[in-house]
Structure 1
Amino acid sequence: MSKIALAGRTDVGLKRSNNEDTFIVKPELNFCLVADGMGGAAAGELASRFFAETALETFVNNKDIGDEKKMPALVQKSFSMANKKILDHVKTAPSHQGMGCTAELMAFFDNGFVLGHIGDSRTYRFRNGELKQMTKDHSLVQNMVDKGMITQEQARTHSHRNVILRAVGIEKNISLDLIKGKTLPDDIYLLCSDGLTDMVEDTLIREVLLSNISLPQKVEGFIELAKLAGGSDNITVVLSKVI
């Protein structure tokens, strides 16, 4: 089993009074996640927390950790159970109607990983000096980019950039992207909420990952860059490095 080093932090940013983001880093379970809540202060915080707690419970109570064949089902189960938990909560608290969260969940096994993705939080891979966005935003503006209606640059400042098309806790049948791949020594994987990517361009993200500083220092660097750019949203960053 490859050893995975993990570091993460969340910050409220400069414009919000509360933090709707949640993250988990569990090196002993070889998994990490980022969730970005939506649906208003209390409901958004609750949705992302529900996702994180459900995923953690799923991994803690499962004997298939590290099993390449069973890992995709485990990631899928984390999303499905969290989806049900949020929908069940809304039935008992109708004022929280519309609550949900975007989420990235990455689980590692020997020489590989499984990534679950839904919404506009993102996962990147940094390998041999090259940065690659592994996920595609489930958002209105990304659809517009795909259809050639606007450019990627215009999408960054578009008035509808916060319209999400898929999330945990919105519909009974959850639709997420499951991405599988092989890891190489020194790979770094970045999971983050849009509080980072709306503020910091990919060229700067690459520079931080290229820098000769520790993993926790890179996390701090990302948070500071997002705040220097305005910090208009909560900022959550998780980094995992293959040792």
Structure 2
Amino acid sequence: MARPAVILQDPAGPPWEFAAQTDTGRLRRNNEDSIAFDPRLGLAVLADGMGGYAGGEVASEMAVALLQASMGRWLAQAGPAPGSRAVMKALQQGITQANRAVFNASTVNPALRGMGTTLVSAVFGPCGAVVGHIGDSRCYRLRGGRLTALTRDHSFLQAQIDAGLMTAQEAQASPHRNLVTRALGIGAEVEVDLLHEPAQRGDLYLLCSDGLTDMVTDEQLVSLLTPDIPLADKVALLITVANDNGGKDNVSVILARFGGH
């Protein structure tokens, strides 16, 4: 069942517009994806959990809630335009703390043992986007009709592609598409990829779980993100197409647009 799309823009904050939605999909009984965003602070967080007996759901919810809380506090104290390096450091620390909390919870509760989650989070501000990423949830940027993947999957298939053992086309048909090589909460320490992307007016950023990218091609993403329609309608359309194409997994989408159309 879909959780309604939300669209908000803070007139006192940076010129960013946001919309988000998460959906269980067509085949899953529960939703192990979690999302959160705060338009006042330009913060977006998305996680896709993994683990038996509700472990994935617990892991993603914990990761999102903890990171939203820690980054929310930091951003509220940092002022209206913190530097990108400071934001990256705070995001690193927040993700590290969330990782330890999820890992500790999995070690003390046998029912949650082995749980973990992917994570993609971004802080959108006057300097652009600062993105932190673990696993195969992704961040894209659409600029001038061109879609660019800003994150690189931490997955078995991506490692195969990087080693020249498989093409991207072969990877699309592989039965091992969901094997991640890095995730939050599966160990006491975690390695996070961080990046800073300056934004231009009209840039559209997409944060999503693999329930979207496994069902919708990059070409389809461009065609769905390009039309001049409200941002919340773009989010709903992405999820509808993912479900129409099979809806094999939970689907979560966060869109952030800089400076209007």
TM-score, scaled relative to structure 2 = 0.90
Equivalent position SS for 1:70:
helix
- Report deviation, 1:242: 0.4
Alignment deviations for residues 75-98 of structure 1 (CA, whole Å, 9 cap, x no partner) = 112211110111111122023121
- Cα separation, 2, equivalents of 1:111 and 1:184: 10
Equivalent position SS for 2:78:
coil
- Cα separation, 1, equivalents of 2:222 and 2:171: 20
Which AA in structure 2 matches 1:53?
Answer: A
1:52 matched to 2:67? The reply is: no
Alignment deviations for residues 162-208 of structure 1 (CA, whole Å, 9 cap, x no partner) = 11100100122210100112011110000000000000000000011
- Report deviation, 1:41: 4.4
User: 2:124 is matched with which residue?
Assistant: 108
Equivalent position SS for 2:48:
strand
**For the aligned residues, what is the CA RMSD?**
1.2
1:67 matched to 2:82? The reply is: yes
| Contact map agreement 1:189 1:239 (CA 8 A) in 2 | yes
User: 2:154 is matched with which residue?
Assistant: 138
- Cα separation, 1, equivalents of 2:145 and 2:175: 33
Partner of residue 167 from structure 1, selected from 175, 183, 193: 183
Which AA in structure 2 matches 1:104?
Answer: V
User: 2:246 is matched with which residue?
Assistant: 230
Which AA in structure 1 matches 2:234?
Answer: K
User: What does residue range 1-243 of structure 1 map to in structure 2 within 5 Å?
Assistant: 2-62=14-74, 63-64=77-78, 66-68=81-83, 69-243=85-259
- Cα separation, 1, equivalents of 2:96 and 2:16: 26
Q: Give unmatched runs, 5+ long, in structure 1.
A: none
Matched residue pairs, number? 243
- Cα separation, 2, equivalents of 1:117 and 1:17: 27
Which AA in structure 2 matches 1:151?
Answer: T
| Contact map agreement 1:12 1:19 (CA 8 A) in 2 | yes
Equivalent position SS for 2:188:
coil
| Contact map agreement 2:53 2:111 (CA 8 A) in 1 | no
TM-score, scaled relative to structure 1 = 0.97
| Contact map agreement 1:64 1:70 (CA 8 A) in 2 | no
- Cα separation, 2, equivalents of 1:220 and 1:135: 23
